[in-house]
Structure 1
Amino acid sequence: MSEPRNELQLLREWDADTPPLTDPARARALFRLHQAMLTPNALAPATVGRRPALRMAVAGVAAAAITTTVLVANESSPRTEPVSAATVLHGAAAEERSLEKPIAPRDDQFIYTKEIVKETPAKGGRTRTYVDESWNSVDGSKKSYVSELGRKQWVPVFAPGEGTWPPTKWTELAQLPTDPRKLVITLRDMGGKPDYSKPMRAADWPMTQVFVSGLLRAPVLPKGLRAAAYEALATVPGIKVLPHQKDADGRVGIGIQYVGSPGTPWGKGGPVLVFDPKTYRYLGMHDRRTAGGTTYEQWTYIAASAVVDRVMQRP
């Protein structure tokens, strides 16, 4: 078995202009990254794909998945915070419950998403806009067709014993609890039987917030799950409010960002979720990514989502 640093080096050198890592290589590296994160200052931030739920082998308990590791500087003084993070996230949960339309896709269907991504070099330059349309198999039994920053590819079906964490199969999503406290613990225990009697430890929160954020990035979720995820995120230590954040269309909103301990991949802050300042409706995400030695400011939002019967079918 190779040393952990070898897989981590692959992650650091991953470039948007080159083919992505194979699923087994990425899964191995992510698991090793999770293990190494338990040691303070063990790692420098690594950049991987934007999608939060990554495929991996499941052996009793799923290995860990990780979102893009980004560094978004907090340029606003905490003294100017108009509301608390809990207020924003509980408001977002209430708004979601008032607007959500429950759906029940069949296993043989696909989740269609249209995601708009805008990128500008951090040091200045031309803004590029990507329109990424994807068709993800509801239960993983059919090939999915996904687009990421304009790169289109077929994703093979799940092999026996293979899955993701957080889960993407609808039947597995439907089994996640909509009680925020139970949801946090279920996500922490990564596919094993949740131990609700075991309290959350400080070391549990960094990866747990990754999993909660992974759920929130999913365009379609079972009834009540997104609202529960907002409320679960409100319980995470290190969640901060960033006033005067902009979404992809330039609208000013309230940002919510997780800031981890120094020496972790989130020591300078993770992705910023942007919410409407009046309704607390989710607007989009502000990220940074580095590829080929260039750092990009990135804004994303979901323009459309639906359940369809086949790949290339649009609502």
Structure 2
Amino acid sequence: MDDLTAVRELADDVPELTEGARAAARVRLQRAVVRETRPRPLSRRLMLRAAVAGTAAAAVAGGAVLATRHQQGSHAPRLTTLSAAQLLRRAADRSRSDGTRAPIPRNDQYVYTRTYVTRTYVNGGRTRTWTDESWLSVDGSRPSRRVEHGKVHNDPPLGEHEVRVPPTEYAELAKWPTDPGKLLRWLRMGTAKHAREAFMNACQFFVVPRVMPPGLEAAIFEAVAEIPRIRIDHEAVDALGRHGVAVSYPDFDFAFVFDTRTYAYLGMRVKGSTVTYDGRKATHHGWYHEMSGLQELDVVDRIGQRP
């Protein structure tokens, strides 16, 4: 038996939740600050955000309680426990059934996104909302524009030696493997020891908006399903009111959020802090959680154009 098969079988064996575990899950939200090293282009990004709002059924590290329907015509929901790995595999199946969600972009076009964002500050519970938009140059050769939190950011083209990792060019993305095992080795950077880095690299496909070739998104979810220690944290509600559940890695500030009934990908949960710079160091001014609702992802010909 290989390591990936062993991980899958362990993930499938999830015990039932107790009432005490459900209560504890609602109040457990402990995150360490994660320092990441990324290429410069990734610092100029539109974050697709989604965060947890403690509601309804809870989940713990091993599994989530999801509502399903009886097959015999009953409208009463039935509770089923899924592990993080099982949920990701169902999300992969949903992604394949959806097919391509946007036209194939040319390198001279822009990936357009519109996202509704809700930010809740940890201290005081104050909440703010925005509608974010972005026009990202597909190959980076042209300026890009982001409207984030009410502010407009005009990003210059990529420099001669700058690249996005993973790429946003459709032709380059088509070179990535859609076999989950091969893709996981790419995400691990060639070594089986880098589980946390593999999860972080998988998140990068969604942090910067892009149109993926058929099968790649599904392969990413299935590859993440093979990463040890992934877990389901909470039931989540995104900024559009869609019920979802988050899949995360311990002590990491990003998490995938999926619809609890359809398993469609909704966005990313983010924990962050307000930061200012004095030229030498960064100062954090308070933690917040953000929820997002991705309203539109499409391809357009110029900045300012909407589908």
Residue 272 of structure 1 contacts residue 287 of structure 1 at CA under 8 Å; is this kept in 2?
A: yes
C-alpha contact 2:135 2:304 (8 A) present in aligned 1: yes
User: Cα gap change, 1:53/1:179 in structure 2, threshold over 3 Å: closer, same or farther?
Assistant: farther
1:116–1:302 contact (8 Å) kept in structure 2: yes
Q: Which residue of structure 1 aligns with residue 148 of structure 2?
A: 148
Residues 277 and 163 of structure 1: CA distance in aligned 2, closer, same or farther (over 3 Å):
same
Counterpart residue number, 1:21: none
Show the counterpart of 2:90. 91
In the alignment, structure 1 residue 287 sits paired with structure 2 residue 270: yes
Q: Residue 278 in 1 paired to residue 273 in 2?
A: no
Q: For residues 53 and 147 of structure 1, do their structure 2 counterparts lie closer, same or farther at Cα, with a shift above 3 Å needed?
A: farther
Q: Percent of pairs identical after alignment? A: 36
Give 2:249's aligned amino acid: Y
- Name the SS of the counterpart of 1:163 in structure 2: coil
User: Is 1:45 equivalent to 2:37 in the alignment?
Assistant: no
The equivalent position to 1:55 in structure 2, one of 20, 30, 41, is 41
The structure with the larger Rg is 2
CA distance in 2, matches of 1:277, 1:167: 30
Question: Residue 73 and residue 298 in structure 1: after superposition, are their counterparts in 2 closer, same or farther (change >3 A)?
Answer: closer
Aligned residues of 1:216 and 1:226 also touching (Cα < 8 A): no
1:210 aligned residue (177, 189, 200): 200
Q: Report the AA paired with residue 227 of structure 2.
A: V
Secondary structure of the residue aligned to 2:248 is strand
Gaps of 5+ in 2: 1-31, 65-80, 275-283
**What is the aligned-residue RMSD (CA, Å)?**
3.1
**Mind listing any 5+ residue stretches in structure 1 that lack a counterpart?**
1-43, 57-64, 190-197, 260-265
- Counterpart amino acid of residue 93 in structure 2: A
Q: Summarize the alignment of residues 38-187 of structure 1 with structure 2, pairs less than 5 Å apart.
A: 45-46=33-34, 54-55=40-41, 76-78=59-61, 81=64, 82-101=81-100, 103-187=103-187
Give, in whole Å, the separation in 2 of the partners of 1:310 and 1:287.
Answer: 29
Superposed, 1:199-278 pairs within 5 Å as: 200-202=191-193, 204-217=194-207, 218-259=209-250, 266=251, 269-278=252-261
Equivalent-residue separation in structure 2 for 1:251 and 1:72 (angstroms): 11
Amino acid at match of 1:210: M
What is the distance in 2 between the residues matched to 1:96 and 1:154? 32
Q: C-alpha distance in 2, partners of 1:77/1:188?
A: 26
CA distance in 2, matches of 1:303, 1:238: 31
Cα distance per residue 1:202-226 (max 9 Å; x no partner): 2x12222111111134352122111
In the other structure, the counterpart of 1:26 is: none
| Partners of 1:93 and 1:227 within 8 A in 2 | yes
- CA pair 146-53 structure 1, distance change in 2 beyond 3 A: farther
1:93-123 deviation per Cα after TM superposition (whole angstroms, max 9, x unaligned): 1111111226321111111111221101112
Q: Distance in 2 between matches of 1:114 and 1:208?
A: 28
Cα distance change of structure 1 residues 169 and 308 upon mapping to structure 2, 3 Å threshold: same
Distance in 2 (alpha carbons) for counterparts of 1:79 and 1:224: 27
The residue that corresponds to 1:312 in the other structure is 304
SS of the aligned residue for 1:164 comes to coil
SS in 2 for 1:212: helix
Shift of 1:252: 3.3
Residues 168 and 147 of structure 1: CA distance in aligned 2, closer, same or farther (over 3 Å)? same
Give the structure-1-normalised TM-score: 0.68
Paired with 1:80 and 1:160, the residues of 2 have a C-alpha distance of 46
Q: Which residue of 1 aligns with 2:76?
A: none
Q: Distance in 1 between matches of 2:40 and 2:84?
A: 28
